[in-house]
Amino acid sequence: MRYSALEVIKQGLTGNKSWRPVWRTPAPKPSYDVVIIGGGGHGLATAYYLAKNHGMRNIAVLEKGYIGGGNVGRNTTIVRADYGQKGNSAFYSHSLKLWNGLSAELNYNVMFSPRGLLELCHSDGQMEAYNRRANTILARGDKAEMLDRNGVTDFAPYIGMNNERFPIKGALLQRSAGTARHDAVAWGYARGADALGVDILQNCEVTGFDIRGGVVHGVETTRGVIKAAKVGICVAGRSTQVASMAGMRLPIESHVLQAFVTEGLKPFINTVINFGVGHFYISQSDKGGLVFGGDLDGYNSYAQRGSLGQVEHVAEAAMSMIPAMGKSRMLRSWGGIMDMSMDGSPIIDSTHIKGLYFNGGWCYGGFKAIPASGSAYAQLLATGAVPDYASAYKLNRFETGHLINEEGTGAVPGLH
């Protein structure tokens, strides 16, 4: 069913009796042309673009849990394209372009809201660095502007400007960045992929690979053996475990990142604000909750929950940046597992096993990457080559020295 205002009216007048589940729950077929492991945002987007852009139909997405239950439902929904490193810059620029047309593309409202991203600067040196960053963004054809102190006050008057430790000198503003509805992104891609014939298999955990003579022939799952000529790993938070079943050892550590939401408030925060030196960022959801977070807890974890120390640290940063937040009450906090790569940038590449492909290591930047990652991975699975905008994300770059280290922190995943 195609969604439209007319359809809503029609359904409303007929008692809303004809709405149907938006994807099927098929039984696994014995074999597929392509099997994608992981039904998160990236996996579903990959399946969608494989069907849409490359005309493939015999595709399965294998999800251990349920659609929308992993990191695609645990993030803070920020979409931005403010990267400076070559490789990252082109990729996220392309992703932002796809975000702009995504609701129309999927005929599903992903509620992409380009409300802007404000990155605060606290010293002359940082202003210089962000000027350079803004020029890099402008030079590749995207939008960015620099605000001075008064500009910050005008744009976001609720920011406390009397911070003694980190005085605000100005900010980089990217008006085309913003937020989206994370669940809708998962559901929209799932619906789109299903409509093109993709089988979405939930509660189907991969337990092993069928690899013979360096060639993958399929996967073993909790719902039986499934044969496939091509298998794409796409499992943020469990990349190490799945890849290890294929004998791979990855340049990845898994860490926990916490996020928080307050009770619903009236419109208050008009943009996305990144208070980098305070390890804090915030936006306000359309429902009214203030959605915010900070840095990683800093140690390996698969727990999907963090320590109280980081809760306190984030709350302190919130109070120092927006003192008025002290009157709101925190509703929930949760953790997500970040597969942190050794240079802070992701991997989209083929592996040493023929027919087996890998997509992962998204650190805490996976959500905004979904459209570009899906279309790049689909092209890799269909044709064997990634498009130019994703060509830097090679698995062997750690050996060849072509690292993409946006933060310049070295091979310490907890610091990216």
Buried b (16+ CB within 10 A) or exposed e, 395-416: bebbeeeebbbbeeeeeebeeb
Q: What are the structure tokens assigned to 78, written together?
A: 């920020």
* Contacts with another protein, 27-66, as mask; x by CB under 8 A: ----------------------------------------
Residues 6+ apart with CB under 8 A from 358: 232, 233, 239, 243, 248, 347, 348, 349, 350, 351, 395
Contact between 207 and another protein per CB under 8 A: no
- If the CB atoms of residues 199 and 297 are measured against another protein, the closer one turns out to be 297
d(CA 157, CA 164): 18
Q: Which amino acid, 4? A: S
Select the span of 150-158, 203-211, 252-260, 370-378 touching another protein (CB under 8 A).
252-260
Per-residue DSSP letter, 415: G
- If the CB atoms of residues 271 and 301 are measured against another protein, the closer one turns out to be 301
Q: How far apart are the first and last CA of the chain?
A: 43
* Contacts with another protein, 219-238, as mask; x by CB under 8 A: -------------------x
* β-strands 145-148, 330-341 pairing: unpaired
The residues in 334-373 that bind another protein, with binding defined as CB under 8 A, are 342
The residues in 386-405 that bind another protein, with binding defined as CB under 8 A, are 398-399
Select the span of 117-125, 155-163, 244-252, 385-393 touching another protein (CB under 8 A).
244-252
Contact between 253 and another protein per CB under 8 A: yes
The residues in 298-317 that bind another protein, with binding defined as CB under 8 A, are 298-303, 307, 309
- If the CB atoms of residues 283 and 341 are measured against another protein, the closer one turns out to be 341
In the chain, what are the helix, strand and coil shares in percent, each to the nearest 5? 35, 25, 40
> Which member of 2, 17, 249, 329 binds another protein (CB under 8 A)?
249
> Which member of 202, 240, 328, 391 binds another protein (CB under 8 A)?
240
Q: Which residue has the tokens 């800093």?
A: 298
Contact between 412 and another protein per CB under 8 A: yes
Select the span of 55-63, 137-145, 246-254, 364-372 touching another protein (CB under 8 A).
246-254
By C-alpha distance, which of 386, 385, 372, 382 is closest to 54?
382
How far does Cα 83 stand from its chain's mean position? 15
Select the span of 46-54, 55-63, 120-128, 407-415 touching another protein (CB under 8 A).
407-415
Select the span of 263-271, 347-355, 367-375, 408-416 touching another protein (CB under 8 A).
408-416
Q: Which residue has the tokens 């992993």?
A: 70
Q: What are the structure tokens assigned to 64, written together?
A: 């251990």
Contact between 158 and another protein per CB under 8 A: no
**Phi, then psi, of 358 in degrees rounded to 5:** -130, 135
Name the residues that contact another protein, by CB under 8 A.
238, 240-241, 249-254, 298-303, 307, 309, 342, 398-399, 411-414
